[in-house]
Amino acid sequence: MPATTLAVRRPPVSARDLPHLVFFVAVAGTLVRLVELNNELCWSVAPPTAALALLYAAGLARWDRLGRTGRPVWLGLLLLLWSWVAWILPAPLTFGYAWLAVPLAVLALRMPTRTERAVALGVITALMVAALMRFGGPDPDVLAPPVAAVWATVLLYRSQQRLARELAATRDRLAAQQREAGRLAERSRIARDLHDTLAQELAGSRMLLQAADRDWDRNPDAARRQLRAVTDALGEHLAQTRGIIDDLTPPLLAQDGLEAALRDLCARAGSAAGAPRISFRAEHEPHPLPTDRAVALLRLTQGLLANALEHARARHVHITLAYGDAATAAVEVRDDGAGFDPAATRAGCADRGFGLAAARERLHAFDGTLTVDSAPGRGTRVRAVLSAAQDRVPAGAL
């Protein structure tokens, strides 16, 4: 089963929107009460109250365009209009209207400089206290709740901002660790490739040269045969070295896509001396894959193909690239070779080299799946599935 990517939808009202919602609810409530009172003073106050809401909404809509200079000016206009309306409102309406200081304090905390934030908060607190004293005089029971609400909001907002900065720093550290893990995983893969190919074959060539040196005088024909064998082997070593370099920067994959790169891989592997027959097929309509995932499938197929060639003793290896309807891509490597016991492999009793372990490690970085179907004497089928969605930064994806 392919990995399922869940789309995270933004809630209709986030915590960042709540202060704005409070502002508009308070203004709407004030307008409703003004209409209910239905006197001359109330109808003279209703237009500036509505203008305050419009000015607030316009500033939010054009926040990015206001810039560092426009935002303090906009907040200053809001405070002037708010304080003027609060002063001319009938005393019974002043208490509820004063609570607009809470969302205005949140806006003050978003001002560009620390000085501007401090001045704005001081002005908001002073204006709110002055408006409330019209309602109940210097009564602590009247003044304390709104003032406490404003400064509690300030403290909570600052705490949220600090947590957001710490979360961003943690995310950056995790991304750096994932990149480092990717580099280490890539070094490990290259080390395995070098060990399985060049290191062993160069050691064999060195032994042939030592044997030729011993036979040079007493058996020159044998020494020449050994030299020719070393020469042929060095040509293969050069081709393998170029293959490893292509693994690091696969140009065909970047130019023509995953299908072309897999076809080329099958053609190169099948042209080697003593190689089994290797066939390739692509199924369904292709869809775009992120580069890191396409590289992962290509390298995974290289590892599985090398595993089949080295251990399976197969006559035929078939590779299939299939694109799924749910934005998935799968590669299947099937051979008619000796087979093995997957349960014993998972238990650590046997393994077919680095191929399956490396494939599982590479797929784990992308939340992919690996299915192994094999039995002694019945061949092997390995199927790797990846989602085409770039849902997270993988570790080991380089």
Q: How far apart are CA 317 and CA 275, in angstroms?
A: 10
CA 343-345-348 angle, to 5 degrees, is 110
pLDDT at 6: 32
| Distance separating alpha carbons of residues 72 and 74, to the nearest angstrom | 5
Contact status, residue 73 vs residue 59, Cβ threshold 8 Å:
no
Strand 380-387 versus strand 328-335 pairing type: antiparallel
Calculate helix-pair angle for 355-364, 140-194, nearest 10 degrees: 160
Using DSSP's 3-state secondary structure scheme, residue 61 falls into helix
Q: Residue 351 has what pLDDT?
A: 45
End-to-end CA distance of the chain: 24
Q: Which residues pair with 374 in a beta bridge?
A: 380
| CA dist., res. 126 & res. 228, Å (int) | 96
Q: In which residue ranges of the chain is CATH 3.30.565.10 found?
A: 256-398
**Which top CATH class is 256-398?**
alpha beta
What does the pLDDT read at residue 171? 80
* Predicted pLDDT of residue 389: 66
Distance from C-alpha of 375 to C-alpha of 82, rounded to nearest angstrom: 79
- What is the spatial distance between Cα 364 and Cα 369, in angstroms, rounded to a whole number? 7
Q: How far apart are CA 132 and CA 37, in angstroms?
A: 21
- DSSP output for 253-318: HHHH-HHHHHHHHHHHHHTSTT--EEEEEEES------HHHHHHHHHHHHHHHHHIIIII--SEEE
Q: Report d(CA 394, CA 398) in Å as an integer.
A: 9
What pLDDT does 1 receive? 34
Rounded distance, CA 213 to CA 207, Å? 10
C-alpha to C-alpha distance for 357 and 369, rounded to whole angstroms: 13
Q: Are 96 and 30 in contact (CB under 8 A)?
A: yes
Query: Which pLDDT belongs to residue 12?
Result: 45
pTM of the predicted structure, to 2 decimals? 0.40
What is the C-alpha separation between 71 and 313, in angstroms, rounded? Answer: 73
- CA separation for the pair 22, 17 (Å, rounded): 9
CA pair distance 170, 182, nearest whole angstrom: 18
User: In angstroms, how far apart are the furthest CA atoms of the chain?
Assistant: 125
Return the ∠ at Cα 139 (arms to 137 and 142), rounded to 5°. 100
d(CA 375, CA 378): 5
d(CA 306, CA 369): 20
Per-10-residue mean pLDDT of the chain, 398 residues long, equals: 35 57 73 71 74 84 82 87 77 69 82 85 82 69 74 79 82 75 72 67 76 82 81 76 64 78 85 81 83 83 81 86 82 88 59 60 80 87 82 40
- pLDDT at position 350 is 43
- Is 274 within 8 Å of 292 (Cβ atoms)? no
Chain centre to alpha carbon of residue 34? 52
Q: Can you name the residues that pair with 279 across neighbouring β-strands?
A: 318
Q: Buried b vs exposed e over 141-170: b needs ≥16 C-beta within 10 Å?
A: ebbeebbeebeebbeebeeeeeeeeeeeee
The predicted structure's pLDDT at residue 321: 92
> Distance (Å, rounded) from C-alpha 79 to C-alpha 69?
16
**30 token code pair:** 């004030």
State the pLDDT at residue 318.
93
Please give the pLDDT value at position 246.
61
State residue 319's pLDDT score. Answer: 93
